[in-house]
Structure 1
Amino acid sequence: MRPALFPFVLYLFAALGGCGGFDQLDAIQSQPASGGAAPQLVPIEGLIAQAGPGRATASARDNVAGRAAGLRARAKAMRGPVHSPATRARLAAAVAAHPTQAN
């Protein structure tokens, strides 16, 4: 039980050290970035009404569709198993050969 206490105490001190205030950061965040007045919040409906028709060309749409298809293919490949069956069997044998001992 004693060896497990040291990492916990170390973690506790590290966690408490992160609880300090950041006065300089708070002062920077409270000021507008441009030095002037803060921007006004407006309803989204007015912005949508002002927006013009899309400017995407057919080639731009095809480019985006191709990139999306490539990303979907990469995601599908990542969903498979990480190790081959032979590697999984070798790892399982190594784990079985070296069982853990509870203290």
Structure 2
Amino acid sequence: MRSFALILVFGLSACTQFPELDGAVTAHGSDANYPDLVPIEPILAQAASGPSADQTTDQLSSRVAALKARASRLRGRVVDTSSRDRMRTGVPRG
């Protein structure tokens, strides 16, 4: 009985409508030119001339230090004590 159900499920799934792919490409896309082929050597040279691992590590270390310093400055109290006391008393009714 299980094998019949399994065959039935697979058989029905094979009858599904295949999506229309011809309408997925716009007229502008179908008329577009192929991309230009370029030599790979300039691309590799540009990648090799990027920052070294030491420069990247130094930049990241300095950024980490700056972010930690900023975080420690933000950990302080937002509202000073005198302002907090005034807020606790509320607005005087007149």
- Is the TM value for this pair above 0.5? no
Greater length-normalized contact order (CA 8 Å, ≥ 6 residues apart): 1
- TM value normalised by structure 2: 0.37
Larger Rg: 2
